[in-house]
Structure 1
Amino acid sequence: MDHKTVRQLYEPYQIYGILNHDAKPVPEEPKSPSGDAEKKIAAVLGKVSAENTSTMLVLSGFLLDTVPDAIHGLSSTLVMLDLSNNNLQMLPKAVTSLVNLITLDAHSNQMTSLPESIGCLVKLEVLNVSGNLLVALPDGIGGC
């Protein structure tokens, strides 16, 4: 799956959204960035993790400082994660445990480095970390 194809698939949901395997939005998705966006996102993630069917997660523009640990519950199904346009200073370990990720878009954050464990994402084909403060890529990007 190339980057353009993935973009076309989730373009209608580029501000927010969680899609299940049928490419239908989860109805309880957060409506807009707000002070309690992280709580809303964590609640939605908890619900969809239990269903274990989500393949795409778009959390772009929520000004998140962190990613809820509940994202780990999507590790067996999530193939596309968009964390762009937030305030992330680092990728949490939970993100690098998403073993089926094909696309990770984390552009326009405030990251200065990537974790070595990002190399464990062996299915990753598209990694967009432009617009960050990175000075080098970890050696682990070649695989684990």
Structure 2
Amino acid sequence: VFHRVVKADGSWTDWHEGVNLRTNVGINWQAEEMGGDTGFDDAGDNAERPLMVAITENTVSPGASNTSILAEETADGLSRITGTYSHTADQSSFTRTAAFQYTGGSTKTIAKAAMCTLSERTLATNSADSHFVVTALSPVAVLDSNDTVEIQWGIFY
């Protein structure tokens, strides 16, 4: 936070820097807005809008300008899911955990995961899915039929 005084004669003091204290209410609001299962949609309405977790075999390195993950899995138990949101009151973090059970027949390698909005909800500035975070899995997850890969994000702010 910066402040200065502008006098009636047009003179002013130098800018002074202060410390911004985020309150517990602010911490809890931010967790719910960023990761919770309800919050304001693009129209400003309070609506269901959980984040989803998506996975892919694609090994291209994630980039800050990505809005989707290439070759997102959509079958055999690996389609996008909401997972479980968790936030401890007054803590500057939240988690979202998702478990995918692979039901296909051949071995599947999962190389990347993204936490994103529902396909029908996008950010006003982005016409594609809005991927909040994306990560390359290291090591990759190699799944045989009926194996489960669990993805857990810890978001700290």
TM-score by length of 1: 0.21
More strand by share: 2
Structure with the greater alpha carbon radius of gyration: 2
**Greater relative CO, 1 or 2 (CA 8 Å, sep 6+):** 2
